[in-house]
Amino acid sequence: MSANRHPIEQEELMAYLDGELPADQATEALSHLELCAECQTLVADFRGVSQELMGWEVESPEVGISSEINAALGERLKKREAAKVSWPRLGNRVTSRWVWVGVLAIVCVVVGLTLLLTSRNRNESRSTTYPSMASIEQYLMPDRNAEIALARSAAPQSISSDAEIMVLGWRGYETAIEGKNGFVCMVERSWTSPFNSAQFWNPKVRVPICLNPAGARSILPLTIKRTEMVLAGLSKAQMIDSIKAGFDNKELPAPEPGAMCYMMSRAGYLSDALGHHVPHLMFYFPLTDKTSWGADLPDSPVTLNPQFQGGPEPITEFVIPVSKWSDGTVAPAM
């Protein structure tokens, strides 16, 4: 494979398959792969190796917590309990309780200040904040084909190949390719995050999504509207008011029954914290109690997505992770 013909190295191609390339390089890899038969063969080979390896399954016996672990666990929890109750005992020995209260208050203030300063320093060094909108160019993808490929990567090819593809232009989303199956695939930007999210203006965010026909009719209009308002330079407060009004006067639709989407791209960049995240499906409903889906309960694979929580859209959104990326490769467990 010569470097002249291929903009990405074989090793990078492998890293792409492993979900280890940054979003911009992953997009480049994806769009090259669509056109390069030689690279597709290499990718098929790598997948073949992974599939062969998966053939070595280790059957685990059903074993519970051993008696040794139980004993160690009991001992540890007992020690913790003892540590908790030892403070009041000490306190009883002191004649004036107020002395202890005073000491405790001083300790709390000192510890609190230390934690505050430490956490602030950590946050500053670890993450970048995005207090306001960057220039529009930073949200656009200069390579239209790369954006189309990234949008398609949200769902398995059997779905996305016949989907309508929308790309972001200077005036908003526009149809790049007409679809046949009612699905719409696109790459969402940071402003589909909750309004109070620190990532709301992060120009690096690229969220490939394929909405099913019900989602395209009832959820897509929200993304379109948010995007139009962002590009028109509205403030967050103005956008929130406009969305509320949109639902009040029925300009914006409620989620249709069955509205859902695929978010199974390994090349997306959902936020600085999540990166590619995990492949998942999302389901939309008018405001619904999360317990009706068993969301966020122990061992439940269903979680409540915070995207619309506390926002102006009266929508509840559930997320279910899936085990494979849209290209069929196995994703890391959550």
Partner 1 sequence: MTSDEALMLEFQGGSRTAFEELFARYRKPLYGFFGRRLNNPERAEDLAQETFLAVIRAASRYEPRASVRTYLYGIALKLLAAERRKFLTSSTSGQSAPEPKTDGTPERMLWVRQALEKLDAPEREILMLREYEQLSYSDIAELLRIPVNTVRSRLFRSRLALKSYLESQAKSNPALRPNAGQLHTGRRGMQ
**Residues found near partner 1 in the complex (CB under 8 A):** 10-11, 14-15, 18, 20, 30, 33-34, 37, 40-41, 43-46, 48-58, 60-61, 63, 65-66, 68-69, 72-73, 76-77, 80-81, 149, 152-153, 156-157, 160, 296, 298-303, 326-328, 330-334
Nearest residue (CB) to partner 1, 202 versus 303? 303
To partner 1, the closest distance from the beta carbon of 197 in angstroms equals 18
Nearest residue (CB) to partner 1, 243 versus 282? 282
Per the CB < 8 A criterion, the answer to whether 187 and 208 are in contact is yes
Dist. CA 187–CA 209, nearest whole Å: 6
Nearest residue (CB) to partner 1, 37 versus 90? 37
To partner 1, the closest distance from the beta carbon of 302 in angstroms equals 8
Dist. CA 305–CA 246, nearest whole Å: 22
With CA atoms as reference, report the closest residue to 155 among 175, 183, 177. 183
Nearest residue (CB) to partner 1, 50 versus 242? 50
With CA atoms as reference, report the closest residue to 6 among 35, 47, 26. 35
To partner 1, the closest distance from the beta carbon of 296 in angstroms equals 7
Among left, alpha and beta (phi > 0; psi -120 to 50; other), residue 294 is: left
Dist. CA 264–CA 49, nearest whole Å: 22
> ∠ CA(261), CA(265), CA(269), 5° rounding?
105
To partner 1, the closest distance from the beta carbon of 12 in angstroms equals 9
To partner 1, the closest distance from the beta carbon of 113 in angstroms equals 20
